[in-house]
Amino acid sequence: MQTGTAQTMDDFATLEVRILPLEDEGYPVELELNQARQLGRGMLDPAQLPDLRGFPSDVAGTTLYNWLTGDLRIRSAVDVARGAAARMRIRLRIDADAPALHALPWETLRLPQPDGDVVELAASAATPFSRYLTTADAPTEYLTPPLRMLVAIAAPDGLDGLGFAAIDADAEWTQLEQALDGKEVELVRLPQPCTLPALEEAVRAGVHIVHIIAHGLFDPDQGASLLLADADNQPLFVADRDIAAMFDRLAHDTAPLRVVFLAACETATRSPADAFRGLAPQLVRAGIPAVVAMQELVPVETARTFSQVFYQRLLDHGVVDLAANEARATLMTAALPGAAIPVLFMRLADGRLFAPEVSRMGRGAMRWLAPLLGVIALAVLAIAGTLLYPAVDAYLNPSQMQGGFKVAVADFGLLHDGAMEQSSLASDLSKTMYDTLTREYAAATDGNGGGGSGLDSVVLWHDSLPRSQKNWDLGFIDGATADARMANAAALATRANADMVIYGYLTDAESPQGLVLEFYFRSPTISGDPDAADGGHRLGRPIASNVPVTDKANATIALHAISPELEERANGLFWLTQAMSFEFANRPEQALKILQEAEPQLASWQENDGKEVFYLFLARAALFDRRFDEAIRAGNEAVRINPDYANAYALLGMTYMDKAQLHFASGRELSPAEAACTDAADFANASPTLEDAIADAQRAVDNLEQAVALAPTSAWPAVEPHTLMNLGLAERVLALAQIFDGRADAAATTLAQGEAHLQDALAAFDAASNPQYYAWTQMGLGLNYRVQAYLAELDAWNANSANDAAAAATATAKETTLLEAAKDAYQACIDQRDATVAYPVFQQKVLQCSCEPYRASAQEALDALATPAVD
């Protein structure tokens, strides 16, 4: 875990250190990285438990670390974690049945470095530190600034008579107010007297943070208590159980509450017999996501400085455990005593309260961007929501395939002298492909207990099937060019209701002469959603024949020469189709798992034999499962194998675009309409910061531009208009990021480029023959115009600020024109309703969840121009 590296705010790995209840050999310790990777398990020797009372923090921290890592298995696991990431969130999780360990000063832990230096784990920005107790689930929704903080100062009369120092409530309030001046926080002061009922009423009104300044006590037998006031402002000791019960009662009424800060002595102290004895642990059990408290007597200046720096940093970046570490570091730099006394208990997975980049825009900008962000959030859904399953027009005569994932293995042909013709050798090779797939599926199904795994939902068709199962022949796929063959394969897929058509042809026109394998994939997201895998694919170079493919006399020799490598590629197609069977069952996580398991098993598949296609589909599965890092890895592997692979560049661009645009919706609560159309879990892997979103959006544009450049010479040139559409959508996301970064001029240029690309794509999509992609592109234009309208509104606002009425009127007129254009584009999308009646899921995701609310939002913006909001 290195320090001093300039990185983004949220690029922390997570190391969870779990200490389990005492066993005969000692306390078991487990280390887990990123909630997935078990690093190791060892034992803590209770006989060596150090007595750290009276020791300075540096000695205590080193002694405690040495005891924690005394087992070489634990120390080795720590070394593995140290090398895994430069920045590591440390989460200490001591089991409730090991209460004796909770009283140790874990906030003093010091990690020795190879160069002889040490890292103060609870005071370094590279190692945000918190304690964790297993309780109810923590909230996952981010808050939107400004935050609302309740400040409760218990300053009853007569404290000196009880041996306590008087608390100057006005001075405490003023110092906190001054420290947070200019921050996006609303301070609410609880009037005196500070009684428990008054505190309960104020919390019920709805606050994000509760800051309590009071005297506190801890008794091992009675637990903790706060010295509040009664109705007459006389001192009143209130037990921790009563305070915790109050917060527990409000748990369902105070959804925004995230942090309770107890600026009172001994509020974090716990009984050695009960991990939940003590006020802070009681609040954790009551469901407060983050609690800051003091584990012993704390000097007033230490408590005041810690709280002020904690809030300043928290309101800057929104990360609770990082703010606590930064506040401790300030205490250490200032040489204030008791830096390890404040303790943070936290159950927030990433420590984050809000996405801080939103606050950079200012409240005036957010008034306009709030509805715009709603549009952006919904735009994500049509790309990456539930997979779409288009209905298929019924055929009266031909039988059609029925099943979860339907694969038609067409006959193979012979492409000779520019024409496709029948060939017995090609037909035999087609049968070899079908038999290999059938055999692989039979073995896989048997290995899973005879079914129920999803594999038995795969249906395979071939012309060797009896007429009782299929009353017509698939035949070979005709066409002298890739485009012609793909078009014929698409027609066959529609006629057979197939999701994939595998086809191929023998040729003597390529080197080496032999068998070319291709397949057509009719994407389940074809109902208007871009999919880089949709369409035709070629599986590498021809499989070489050792005799001329037109030599009928030696066809058996050719069959034996081609079949082994054909079976190898058929095995690759088996893994692809197996994964797709789960994808079509709406289980993208299982599809991804299958392809990840297949990767090492396909080591013998040569890279120039079409292996880039495997990586394309692996990247696609990862994208659908929101595993952006894996999608990027696999996509990069595909372009490494084939630097001219337009589909892979397109998929990389879509991945980066999706990751970037999710950033702008991840820091706020979804409206009911949005929540009905998406899953909040989709936002988990979004670009974490504005800087990351800008970089990812630019990567999206770069990759999509490369895909557009390569499309005309790709295996499926028809990918070009689809990629142009995605490029236009990505440029809109980049422009939005530039706006948030304060670069309106750059955003305007980007939007103009995006509009041009969308118009080019629209020209290629005919509403009559391709209503889905036509509707999608119109929606993209509407989104582009909407962001342009925001820039015009910003120009009008600036002109009004400069008292330039003429410029303001011009900008407002431009804004109106753009909003009308956005409305028209959304309406053109909505107008495809009748043409897409056979596609009910398309109508839900693209029309009902997208174009219809977008049009309504544009109309609301037009209506608002008549009575502009006043900041």
Please spell the DSSP secondary structure of 242-288, one letter per residue.
HHHHHHHHTTTT-TT--EEEEESTTSS--BTTBTT-SHHHHHHHHT-
Q: What is the pLDDT of residues 678-700, one digit of tens each?
A: 666 667 788 888 888 899 999 99
- In the numeric block, the tokens 């115009």 are attached to 785
Q: How far apart are CA 60 and CA 806, in angstroms?
A: 70
Q: Are residues 340 and 410 in the same domain?
A: no
Note whether residue 132 is domain-resident.
Answer: no
> What count of other Cβ atoms lies within 10 Å of the Cβ of residue 341?
24
- Quick one: average pLDDT of 400-413? 80
More confident residue, 780 or 511: 780
Residue burial 252-286, b: 16+ Cβ < 10 Å; e: rest: eebeebbbbbbbbbbbbbbbeeebbbbbbbbbbbb
Q: Are residues 116 and 265 in the same domain?
A: no
Q: Compute the Cα dihedral for 695, 696, 697, 698 and give only its sign.
A: positive
Q: Are residues 330 and 432 in the same domain?
A: no
Q: What is the pLDDT of residues 295-304, one digit of tens each?
A: 888 888 898 9
Could you give phi then psi for residue 713, rounded to 5 degrees?
-110, 10
**345 close to 131: Cβ distance less than 8 angstroms:** yes
**Angle of the 362-384 helix axis to the 646-663 helix axis, nearest 10:** 140
Note whether residue 8 is domain-resident.
Answer: no
Share of the chain above pLDDT 70, in %: 82
Identify the domain containing residue 123 by its residue range: 13-127
Q: Are residues 346 and 366 in the same domain?
A: no
Note whether residue 615 is domain-resident.
Answer: no
Residue burial 529-556, b: 16+ Cβ < 10 Å; e: rest: bbbbbbbbbbbbbbbebebebbeeeebe
- Quick one: average pLDDT of 135-160? 83
Q: What is the pLDDT of residues 214-253, one digit of tens each?
A: 988 777 667 778 899 999 999 999 988 899 899 888 876 6
Non-local (6+) Cβ contacts of 725 within 8 A are: 530, 757, 758, 761, 765, 773, 776, 777, 780
Binned at pLDDT 50, 70 and 90, residue 387 comes out as: very low
Q: Which of 423, 444, 429, 440 is nearest to 566 (CA)?
A: 429
- Quick one: average pLDDT of 278-283? 78
Q: How far apart are CA 645 and CA 730, in angstroms?
A: 19
Q: How far apart are CA 653 and CA 186, in angstroms?
A: 41
**589 close to 623: Cβ distance less than 8 angstroms:** no
CATH of the domain at 304: 3.40.50.1460
Q: How far apart are CA 696 and CA 694, in angstroms?
A: 6
- pLDDT recorded at residue 40: 81
**Residue 145 pLDDT exceeds 90:** no
Q: Which of 238, 158, 160 is nearest to 199 (CA)?
A: 238
**Residue 365 pLDDT exceeds 70:** no
- pLDDT recorded at residue 378: 43
Q: Are residues 343 and 409 in the same domain?
A: no
Q: Are residues 200 and 55 in the same domain?
A: no
Note whether residue 592 is domain-resident.
Answer: no
Q: Are residues 282 and 202 in the same domain?
A: yes
Do you find a cis peptide bond into 272, omega within 30 degrees of 0?
A: no
- Residue 426 φ/ψ region, left for φ over 0, alpha for ψ in the -120 to 50 degree band, beta for the rest: alpha
**Residue 103 pLDDT exceeds 80:** yes
- pLDDT recorded at residue 860: 87
- pLDDT recorded at residue 254: 60
Q: Which of 439, 647, 644, 434 is nearest to 523 (CA)?
A: 647
What pTM value is reported for the model?
A: 0.54
3-state secondary structure of 301: helix
> What count of other Cβ atoms lies within 10 Å of the Cβ of residue 801?
9
> What count of other Cβ atoms lies within 10 Å of the Cβ of residue 645?
24
- Quick one: average pLDDT of 355-361? 43
Q: How far apart are CA 757 and CA 760, in angstroms?
A: 5
Q: How far apart are CA 302 and CA 339, in angstroms?
A: 7
- pLDDT recorded at residue 268: 47
DSSP string, 767-833: TTT-HHHHHHHHHHHHHHHHHHHHHHHHHHHHHHHTT-HHHHHHHHHHHHHHHHHHHHHHHHHHTTT
Least confident of 398-407, 434-443, 458-467, 670-679: 670-679
CA angle, residues 594, 719, 737, in degrees to nearest 5: 80
- pLDDT recorded at residue 528: 38
**Residue 255 pLDDT exceeds 90:** no
3-state secondary structure of 78: helix
Note whether residue 647 is domain-resident.
Answer: no
272: which 2 tokens? 């050695």
> What count of other Cβ atoms lies within 10 Å of the Cβ of residue 424?
11
Note whether residue 629 is domain-resident.
Answer: no
17: which 2 tokens? 């250190």
Note whether residue 137 is domain-resident.
Answer: no
Q: Are residues 87 and 151 in the same domain?
A: no
Q: Are residues 154 and 38 in the same domain?
A: no
- pLDDT recorded at residue 446: 60
In the DSSP assignment, the letter for residue 26 is B
What is the Rg, in whole angstroms, of the alpha carbon atoms belonging to the chain? 32
Q: How far apart are CA 831 and CA 822, in angstroms?
A: 14
- pLDDT recorded at residue 817: 95
**542 close to 514: Cβ distance less than 8 angstroms:** yes
**Residue 749 pLDDT exceeds 90:** yes
**Residue 869 pLDDT exceeds 70:** no
Q: Are residues 663 and 521 in the same domain?
A: no
Q: How far apart are CA 821 and CA 779, in angstroms?
A: 11
On average, the pLDDT of the chain sits at: 81
**Residue 837 pLDDT exceeds 90:** no
Note whether residue 513 is domain-resident.
Answer: yes
> Mapped to the 3 state alphabet, what secondary structure does 132-190 carry?
ECCCCCCCCCCECCCEEEEEEECCCCCCHHHCCCCCCHHHHHHHHHHHCCCCCEEEEEC
Non-local (6+) Cβ contacts of 396 within 8 A are: none
Non-local (6+) Cβ contacts of 156 within 8 A are: 193, 194, 227, 228, 229, 230, 233, 234, 235, 236
Q: How far apart are CA 374 and CA 545, in angstroms?
A: 58
- pLDDT recorded at residue 386: 28
Least confident of 415-419, 474-478, 554-558, 564-568: 554-558
**214 close to 264: Cβ distance less than 8 angstroms:** yes
Q: Which of 558, 596, 595 is nearest to 575 (CA)?
A: 595
**655 close to 632: Cβ distance less than 8 angstroms:** yes
Non-local (6+) Cβ contacts of 161 within 8 A are: none
Q: Are residues 162 and 83 in the same domain?
A: no
- pLDDT recorded at residue 388: 29
Q: Which of 111, 123, 108 is nearest to 52 (CA)?
A: 108
Q: How far apart are CA 544 and CA 565, in angstroms?
A: 9
Q: How far apart are CA 623 and CA 631, in angstroms?
A: 5
Q: Compute the Cα dihedral for 673, 676, 677, 678 and give only its sign.
A: positive
State how many domains the chain has. 4
Non-local (6+) Cβ contacts of 209 within 8 A are: 147, 148, 149, 150, 185, 257, 258, 259, 260, 261
**CA distances from residue 183 to 150, 152, 208, 245, 370 in whole angstroms, order as listed:** 15, 19, 15, 32, 20
Q: What is the pLDDT of residues 454-473, one digit of tens each?
A: 456 678 888 888 766 666 78
Q: Are residues 833 and 814 in the same domain?
A: yes
- pLDDT recorded at residue 138: 61
182: which 2 tokens? 């200019």
Non-local (6+) Cβ contacts of 350 within 8 A are: 10, 12, 89, 319
Q: Which of 473, 541, 545, 475 is nearest to 514 (CA)?
A: 545
Q: How far apart are CA 379 and CA 849, in angstroms?
A: 9
Q: How far apart are CA 353 and CA 348, in angstroms?
A: 8
Query: Position 184: which residue type?
Result: E
Q: Which of 709, 664, 697, 701 is nearest to 683 (CA)?
A: 664
- pLDDT recorded at residue 225: 83
